[in-house]
Structure 1
């Protein structure tokens, strides 16, 4: 076949045809396999297709009766459910409410981000600063005028003591996978790397001071143990325990000295901030964010420092510890979420009833908002306790309380009507014993 760029088929190889494409229309012809000639016209409105461009198209074998029968066997009624993916009434309301929920999440995310950057003063006690990751010694004060203050880095001894105290954990992390089969190789090169680093550290100790002797002792104990493992070509767990027993007293001393250095270094700087903010009338408004990890999520040094500087009420409401923040940006997002939720809770739930106050506290703290309802459900489902309808009665009583407050007659009527419906529903549940999740 041939063509002059009119859109007709220009060539055929087997069942594949080469077409020239006009900018607006593709016109194709297919050979009639059973003495019939058919033409199909396809409109293509793509600005990416230019006159004279060629493509190859596979033409299906339309004369296959089995395939044709399969194409047209389903009725329209059978095909519609596939296209009508929003489905029945239940699915319709599901997707409609899901759209609302997604909109909530979008605006909520924007809200907490802006709220978190609208709260001053704020102190972030970070431990992920460059060159000081995991050290936990840096404090940054953020003020409303956009200025920031940072505490000075603690003396080098603080970090040295912490670094040396972590050596047993370093060794354990390398050799523990081999404790079940201690003579299997695979750990040697890693221990050699640690050993070489210890040799470098030992070479830096040029004096006989008590501090250097302390460092030298810890490094030597570790080097001797590593050398024993390499010579024995084995990492027996009992030998590791002996090493730990020998170095443990020195680890305890290092931890005590590091903690004292941290407190001595941070105390005057934080007290100076406190005095400055008190003079501005801002100290009791100051929030503190302490990013942490689960193993040290409670009673850590940064937390204890602020426990000494703040009143009990201030500490309990304005010090926020969490594993979530990985950087400063996420710390402000967390602050926005916690404080933003507290404002929202007071406005949404109020504080007129015990149930409302419980929900305010739940939304404002680590406690889950539905913890009360979940506990009732657990007792009912797992422990087969008789359903007393406690939550339903509580909610109904709240509605009646609100109905008694200054409000319009329409609102009062609606609240009382809803409370009555809740009463009826609870009675049905208590008497029927039926379970429904619709």
Structure 2
């Protein structure tokens, strides 16, 4: 995970390497010392300076390690296929469980069928943008990256038939799963639609995006029903465990609860567990104590990762006001996810660079054209929103 500290460290190292790029055979500086001696002294001086940052990192890590043991109470949520693994850390103890009913996993499992089919056939889809309702929202380059195989290639047939075997097995067992009757019907609709699409496509040894769209559209109502059941199960399970843990630790401790929700980037904004947890926390602290933490892949030790990141946040919250007592914007940057150098870089990038070609946005281009929008005046920098 890149932090402003690692960024600053890399910047320092980059400066050192830039200095070393100068040839040791350069002319003497007038002191009479040979070039290699001057380079050696420069190397030693720069190493001494870099050691300052190394010392900071060592002491910072020591504080963080000690702080991790003090963090309490903390709720850690690792999003997963079962609705989330919840862990309560309180006064040196931990309890972990999956509070969401199994209906959640069953409903989502069947709802993912169209995505499973798509994942098999996608490389063979033509890279020409198809005539579908959302055609104007398809990026041609993205499509070309996904549809990287020849449309005449038929190596999708075997895996698609194998997936059909999995779907057929689930279809045969629906009545024995003990799920609500309405959900049985919705799952039948999804599975039957997929099996029909697979049968027609594999027999013909061809498919097109239109036939896939017809299939996905035909099962959408069933997916919506499953989504309703999944949401109901998740809300009930999460709220139940939160009530249980809140009663156990007491209202005074609950008011200071930190929550770290770990998820993949694709679900880190408006994450389902964060939405449910938010109204159950202290409203005066939820904006700073509910932390959505995206991760690239599911973590082997989510609690340790959550506590490590939370310790950084907590100690930075205090350090910010003491290290930058006279600069509120800098303090807010140290306390939040903004890089500490962000404002300075934005200031320098906004200044005209002699000889640099100016970028001209296409006529009618919206805000999304440039990834960086300069923030407003210092008076607007309250630390609550970053236009990046």
- Asked if these proteins are the same fold (TM beyond 0.5), I'd say yes
Q: 1:85 to 1:225 in 2, by over 3 A?
A: farther
C-alpha displacement of 1:310? 2.1
State which of 167, 171, 174 in structure 2 corresponds to 1:198: 167
State which of 100, 104, 112 in structure 2 corresponds to 1:158: 104
CA–CA distance in 2 between the matches of 1:215 and 1:86? Answer: 72
2:266 matched residue in structure 1: 295
Equivalence map 1:400-411=2 (5 Å): none
Give the conservation status (yes or no) of the 8 Å contact 1:113–1:332. no
Give the conservation status (yes or no) of the 8 Å contact 1:137–1:154. yes
CA–CA distance in 1 between the matches of 2:65 and 2:293? Answer: 17
Give the conservation status (yes or no) of the 8 Å contact 2:64–2:311. yes
2:153 matched residue in structure 1: 184
Classify the secondary structure of the residue corresponding to 1:136. Answer: coil
Q: 1:174 to 1:376 in 2, by over 3 A?
A: same
Equivalence map 1:4-403=2 (5 Å): 87=40, 89=42, 91-127=43-79, 133-144=80-91, 146-180=92-126, 181-206=150-175, 209-279=181-251, 281-324=252-295, 326=299, 327-350=302-325, 353=326, 355=327, 357-381=328-352
CA–CA distance in 2 between the matches of 1:109 and 1:143? Answer: 22
Classify the secondary structure of the residue corresponding to 1:184. Answer: coil
Give the conservation status (yes or no) of the 8 Å contact 1:287–1:319. yes
1:54 matched residue in structure 2: none
Classify the secondary structure of the residue corresponding to 1:378. Answer: helix
Classify the secondary structure of the residue corresponding to 2:71. Answer: coil
Classify the secondary structure of the residue corresponding to 2:255. Answer: helix
Give the conservation status (yes or no) of the 8 Å contact 1:291–1:331. yes
CA–CA distance in 1 between the matches of 2:41 and 2:83? Answer: 55
Give the conservation status (yes or no) of the 8 Å contact 1:138–1:150. yes
**Which sits farther off after the overlay, 204-213 or 288-297?**
204-213
**Which sits farther off after the overlay, 102-111 or 165-174?**
102-111
Unaligned regions of 5+ residues in structure 1, if any? Answer: 1-73, 128-132, 385-393, 395-438
Higher RCO by CA contacts (8 Å cutoff, separation 6 or greater): 2
Equivalence map 1:404-423=2 (5 Å): none
C-alpha displacement of 1:341? 1.3
Structure number with bigger Rg: 1
Classify the secondary structure of the residue corresponding to 2:219. Answer: helix
Give the conservation status (yes or no) of the 8 Å contact 2:78–2:84. yes
Higher strand share: 1
Show CA shifts across 1:400-438 (max 9, x none): xxxxxxxxxxxxxxxxxxxxxxxxxxxxxxxxxxxxxxx
CA–CA distance in 1 between the matches of 2:124 and 2:218? Answer: 22
TM, length-normalised to structure 2 = 0.69
C-alpha displacement of 1:88? 5.4
CA–CA distance in 1 between the matches of 2:95 and 2:217? Answer: 43
Q: 1:188 to 1:92 in 2, by over 3 A?
A: same
Unaligned regions of 5+ residues in structure 2, if any? Answer: 1-24, 29-33, 127-149, 357-377, 379-388
Give the number of aligned pairs.
295
Q: 1:164 to 1:260 in 2, by over 3 A?
A: same
C-alpha displacement of 1:81? 6.3
